[in-house]
Amino acid sequence: MIPEPETPSRPDPVVRLTGVTHRYGRTLAAADVSLELPAGRMVGFIGPDGVGKSTWLGLMAGARRIQAGEVMVLGGDMRDKRHRERLFPRIAYMPQGLGKNLYPTLSVRENIDFFGRLFGQSRSERDRRIRDLLRSTGMSDFADRPARKLSGGMKQKLSLCCALVHDPDLLILDEPTTGVDPLSRRQFWELIERIRSGRPSMSVLIATAYMEEAERFDWLVAVDDGKKLAEGSPAELRERTGASSLEGAFLALLPEDRRRGHHELTIPPLHKGDTVIEAEGLTMRFGSFTAVDDVNLSVDRGEIFGFIGSNGCGKSTTMKMLTGLLEPTRGEARLLGRKLDARNMATRRRVGYMSQAFSLYGELTVRRNLELHAKLFHLTPDLARERIERLEERFGLKRFADDRPDDLPLGIRQRLQLAVAVIHRPDVLILDEPTSGVDPVARDRFWELIIDLSRQDGVTIFISTHFMNEALRCDRVALMHAGRILDTDTPRALKEKRGAATLEEAFIGYLEDASGETGEAPAGQGTFAAGERAGRGVAHPRFSPARLFSFTIRESMELKRDPIRLGMALFGTLLLMLVIGYGVNLDVNNLSFAALDQDQTTASQSYILEYEGSRYFSVRPPVSSPSDMDRRMVAGELSVVIQTPPDFGRDLDRGDAPEVGAWIDGAMPSRAEIARGYVQGVHNQALSRLAARTGGSGSLYGMPVRYRYNPEMKSIIAMVPKVIPLLLVFIPAMLTALGVVREKEMGSILNVYTTPVTKFEFLVGKQLPYIALSLINFAFLFLMAVFLFRVPFTGSLPALAAGALVYVVATTGLGLLASTLTSSQVAAIAGTAIFTLLPAIQFSGLIDPVSTLEGTGRIIGSLYPTTYYLLISEGTFSKGLGLASLAGFFWPLLAAIPVTTILSVLMLRKQGA
């Protein structure tokens, strides 16, 4: 390792790490890290993705739990919860990813306003700050545009506005310009400089993978494999390593075993061959959005063709259309003179594709992944064996053949993906940002493989990249912006056309021409005016209704602008009510019936006519024999067969009770049991009438039965009042859980981790809109029950409505609890469905009364909220009960609310792992 020079005297550190260690499973993100970061400076963390930069910044921002070591920020220990709470108003954290802390459906103004509410700012103060921030960033004209419709650069500007709304002392930016075009990147850093000129005491910590932008930072920390390689100013690092660039300095700082065998990359000249790919007027639209607009170009065999542009500018879509993987809306692409057809599998076999994200099978070994893809492309066993052996040797994968990809370094995984992409010897290869996050040594080794495929195998390669030094290695480059190709030429020719010293400067010139921007700050926007401080000196109470309702307002706006979620919230329960109300009917009518009359007398025929005249039976042609009966019942044609014996009439005349056989389809036991009761009733009635005609007593003694509450015994009258509690636990709980888990999936949960908002405020603020929607659903369900299903309502409507209010607060609380146990929307849906429907159906009295249950089922039924609202619903609908009679059922519902809320608050963590 190159020795560290003596560190010059610096101001008191804004951050001090001592012995910090942090792991994710077997991955070490921080390995006994100790460092001090100077205050009032721009400090950059440089290194590839996955080396620990984001983890270190997350620990400094209080967004991650400290596993080992000490993290001191702004003079206090970040393990101390009270210190973190005092510090949140003084820190601003902008996480990695374009607009990761933004809310896509909210406008620019609404996003900033939301953050202002979290920091307790008044309406007038928020308006003033929003006006100043938008003017300073040049976004005043876009104040009402939804965040999802902003370009990458504008999203990052908006994220910065949200971070700066409370005038922080420490600004933490995690790769803020990744995926942003060079012009927006330059404007972003100019904006940071203007902020610092107005707030010179503010410290700025930045993680970046772009070495060229790290040159502008005051202090750098080189990071690799969870360790600090070195720290110092950019000039000091270059001087210490004797390198002419920061990338060269970083390479020199890597351990010797990582640099072994690395050499400067050389690219042999391309010998012009035949044209492989031609495109004319390629256009791709997704609905009203034009992703690619009128692309025209041609690419020769063996050419390395680069696409440069920001995320979302159309690079990947263009490459897929050029290789036949995506059918264009207009225009055409030709491969070796033949039109490409995305539906033609022969075309796909001529193309190899390597995605940016790792897309192979982590549970398979390296060799098994290669063998699987060889089979998918129909390589013969001998050819597959030969190709795999050659690729393992050529790509340096042989010693990793029996390892699983998840256990390999990122650079080796990328080599494996490349080997899989070319296993079938494609003519064309698509590489979608293949070196993103890879360290410089692994990147150069990867490029050696690309160049070898191009020059030795004649493979035409399309590659997209954000790194300008990689673009310089391409034979030709297409500069893309907003779906259009601005120009296509060799990197040298592009620089010469613009009179630029670097390719990045040339690209910025093209972007300025395309967008009409100059890149200069408009007059009057030189600095940020820091008005009344929102962070220091302002008391932030432990509980704030304003913070709570900020989440309520934001969730309501997002629901209103998301037609799918809103439609599910408003109409999901109604649809299920229709399905269950009409589809789940326990009434058994029109049983298919036939007779096997072995007596053929007037008495037997009169007996059978009693069944034919019953509304419970539907007559089918008579059965001719026992075998005919078996055949027709197996086919499902008959549900009941009545068999009269040969001496039926004679036995009846003698006063004996004839033995009649009844054959019932028992595939559904409950239905068969009801059919048995129907048969028994008609049998007794028929024998009684026949006995009276033949001079018998004419009567059968029995007990008269009458029914209360549902005298007609219609199942729909009994079912509908029970369905209302079932639906008010399932849909509201699921929607509430999704509302919270979406924050985790989108990454906006970091706004909870790094702001003064409490867990209670966050959870209850998210819950309130779903309580309101649930009450609207209750009103709709009640109206459907009474007017559509004609269920009589005989009790107290205020009692039913009050019970509904308490019940939906409890059921949405179950959704909050489920959300703390899951981290994905799929898991939230599955978990909430099991957590709500299973107890509601099995243990809450929907099928069997809770009093008849035993053991664990009885305990669950006694504790579950649905049990008590089901009794309230039945009592008001069917039994005419009022609030006084039902008051006892309200107390368990009321008790469930604080229980679920407290458990949710305790189980939700305000820091990531």
pLDDT digits (tens, 9 = 90+) for 209-255: 788 888 889 999 999 889 999 999 999 999 999 888 888 888 888 88
Picking from 126, 156, 124, the residue whose alpha carbon sits closest to that of residue 139 is: 156
Tokens of residue 537, six digits: 């000196």
Q: What is the mean pLDDT of residues 794-798?
A: 92
867 contacts 858 by C-beta, under 8 angstroms = no
Checking if the pLDDT of 477 tops 70, the result is: yes
pLDDT digits (tens, 9 = 90+) for 310-336: 777 888 888 788 777 788 889 988 877
CA–CA separation, 182 vs 477, rounded Å?
Answer: 15
**DSSP symbols for 665-720:** --SSHHHHHHHHHHHHHHHHHHHHHHHHHTTS-----------SS-TT--HHHHHH
**DSSP symbols for 860-912:** HHHH-HHHHHHHHHHHHHHS---HHHHHHHHHHHHHHHHHHHHHHHHHS-SSB
Sheet holding 275-286, edge to edge: 289-300, 275-286, 330-335, 338-339
* Residue corresponding to tokens 């010059």: 8
Checking if the pLDDT of 656 tops 50, the result is: yes
Under DSSP, the state recorded for 313 is S
Checking if the pLDDT of 4 tops 70, the result is: no
Tokens of residue 302, six digits: 């063996």
Whole-structure pTM value: 0.79
Helix (H) or strand (E) holding 605: helix 602-612
Long-range contacts of residues 661-665, Cβ cutoff 8 Å, at least 24 apart: 661/596, 663/629, 663/633, 664/639, 664/640, 665/633, 665/636, 665/638, 665/639, 665/640
Helix (H) or strand (E) holding 286: strand 275-286
User: Residue 271: pLDDT band by 50, 70, 90 thresholds?
Assistant: confident
Reduced to 3 states, what is the DSSP secondary structure of residue 520? coil
CA–CA separation, 514 vs 280, rounded Å?
Answer: 21
Checking if the pLDDT of 171 tops 90, the result is: yes
Q: Who's near 332: CB < 8 A, 6+ residues apart?
A: 279, 280, 281, 282, 339, 340
Angle, helices 715-746/825-842, rounded to nearest 10 degrees: 150
Give percent helix, percent strand, percent coil of the chain, each to the nearest 5.
50, 15, 35
Q: What is the pLDDT of residue 211?
A: 83
Query: Amino acid letter at 385?
Result: R
Checking if the pLDDT of 817 tops 90, the result is: yes
Picking from 392, 396, 414, the residue whose alpha carbon sits closest to that of residue 405 is: 414
pLDDT digits (tens, 9 = 90+) for 829-888: 888 988 898 898 889 888 778 877 888 888 999 999 999 999 999 889 888 889 999 999
Domain positions in the chain are 13-259, 275-487, 545-580+714-907, 591-693
- Indicate the range of 232-236, 412-416, 727-731 predicted with least confidence: 412-416
Reduced to 3 states, what is the DSSP secondary structure of residue 230? strand
Checking if the pLDDT of 792 tops 60, the result is: yes
Q: What is the mean pLDDT of residues 418-443?
A: 82
User: Residue 342: pLDDT band by 50, 70, 90 thresholds?
Assistant: low
CA–CA separation, 117 vs 125, rounded Å?
Answer: 10
How are beta strands 338-339 and 227-232 bridged, if at all?
unpaired
How many other CB atoms are there within 10 angstroms of residue 378's CB atom? 10
Residue 172: phi and psi, rounded to 5, are -115, 120
Torsion of Cα atoms, 550 then 552 then 556 then 558, to 10°: 60
Angle, helices 440-457/246-253, rounded to nearest 10 degrees: 110
Tokens of residue 490, six digits: 């060799």
Q: What is the pLDDT of residue 1?
A: 45
Domain 275-487 indexed as CATH 3.40.50.300:
yes
Superfamily of domain covering 591-693: abc type-2 transporter like domain (3.40.1710.10)
Domain 13-259 indexed as CATH 3.10.105.10:
no
Q: What is the mean pLDDT of residues 338-355?
A: 76
Strands (E), 449-576: 460-465, 476-481, 484-489
CA–CA separation, 238 vs 240, rounded Å?
Answer: 5
CA–CA separation, 608 vs 894, rounded Å?
Answer: 58
205 contacts 170 by C-beta, under 8 angstroms = yes
Picking from 719, 685, 715, the residue whose alpha carbon sits closest to that of residue 700 is: 685
Checking if the pLDDT of 437 tops 90, the result is: no
pLDDT digits (tens, 9 = 90+) for 605-629: 888 888 888 878 888 999 988 888 8
Q: Who's near 150: CB < 8 A, 6+ residues apart?
A: 99, 108, 142, 158
218 contacts 41 by C-beta, under 8 angstroms = yes
CA–CA separation, 412 vs 626, rounded Å?
Answer: 73
Torsion of Cα atoms, 530 then 536 then 538 then 539, to 10°: 160
pLDDT digits (tens, 9 = 90+) for 109-121: 999 999 999 998 8
Q: What is the mean pLDDT of residues 386-409?
A: 85
Q: What is the pLDDT of residue 702?
A: 34
Under DSSP, the state recorded for 24 is E
Q: What is the pLDDT of residue 467?
A: 78
Checking if the pLDDT of 519 tops 50, the result is: no
Tokens of residue 270, six digits: 């391309």
Query: Amino acid letter at 752?
Result: V
Checking if the pLDDT of 412 tops 50, the result is: yes
314 contacts 307 by C-beta, under 8 angstroms = no
Picking from 725, 738, 754, the residue whose alpha carbon sits closest to that of residue 877 is: 725
Average pLDDT, the chain: 84
13-259 shares its CATH topology with 591-693: no
Q: What is the pLDDT of residue 704?
A: 41
Q: Who's near 665: CB < 8 A, 6+ residues apart?
A: 633, 636, 638, 639, 640, 672, 675
Checking if the pLDDT of 516 tops 90, the result is: no
